Amino acid sequence: MKKIALVLAAALLVVLFFVFDLQQLLTLDGLKAGMDRLTAQRDASPLLLGLAYLGIYIVVTALSLPGAVIMTLAGGALFGLLWGMVLVSFASTIGATLAFLASRYVLRETVQARFGDRLKALNEGVRKDGAFYLFTLRLVPVFPFFLINLLMGLTPIRAATFYWVSQLGMLAGTLVYVNAGTQLARIDGLGGIVSPGLLASFALLGVFPLLARAALGWVGRYQAWRHG
């Protein structure tokens, strides 16, 4: 009953989000149109707006609603690079962890019971190298943010590990988007924020820990063979 209630509550919030057409606010045009009002609210009560922003961002990411990129740009536009980074980093990671925990609570038992034999190798791999795989996924913005949260909830990775690896792995992407948000008036579309070269750099950063771990394992086996 608790699982059903959780699913129904989440579904209701998602339905209300679209019924009231709130997704229009989480677009680049919607953000630009509301900047004067938001800036006035920030100047009048920066702490209150900061807390409201933090709460809304957490809800958006926890429910896997569209608009995380726009929320990140808004953080830079409203709070600047430093405070925007702080707010976005914690809000996105907390929201992602809530989505991860919801997926684990609602779906993991059923999925593992039905496909446990087929997922045995994957589960074992995640137990050993889950942090490295997650770090790679977080560094490369081409992987859907919400999908990573939901799928990782089905694996054996610990929630604490998911949290700190996500926060660390998303810092580079967060920096790019928050910094872009500080120049919001110059942005005409979301496609130009992250260049192919930058995506390649993120991919290399993410793959490096896996390559280093593989290299260390090879060196260890080679030394064992030499002295064996």
Structure confidence by residue, pLDDT tens digits, 72-84: 999 999 999 999 9
pLDDT at 193 over 80: no
3-state helix, strand, coil in the chain (%, to 5): 85, 0, 15
Structure confidence by residue, pLDDT tens digits, 101-143: 999 999 888 887 777 677 777 678 788 778 888 888 887 767 7
Q: What is the mean pLDDT of residues 204-213?
A: 63
Decide: residue 72, CB within 10 A, 0-12 exposed, 13-18 middle, 19+ buried.
buried
pLDDT at 222 over 60: no
Q: Rounded to whole angstroms, how far apart are CA atoms 183 and 11? A: 35
Structure confidence by residue, pLDDT tens digits, 4-57: 887 788 888 888 888 767 778 889 999 999 999 999 999 999 999 999 999 999
**Could you tell me how far CA 64 lies from the centroid of its own chain?**
10
Which pLDDT score, from 0 to 100, does residue 3 have? Answer: 77
pLDDT at 178 over 80: yes
DSSP assigned state of 12:
H
Task: Compute CA distances 115 → 101, 107, 109, 122, 181, whole Å.
Answer: 20, 12, 10, 11, 43
Q: What is the mean pLDDT of residues 218-228?
A: 58
Work out the percent of the chain whose per-residue pLDDT is above 90: 41
Which pLDDT score, from 0 to 100, does residue 43 have? Answer: 96
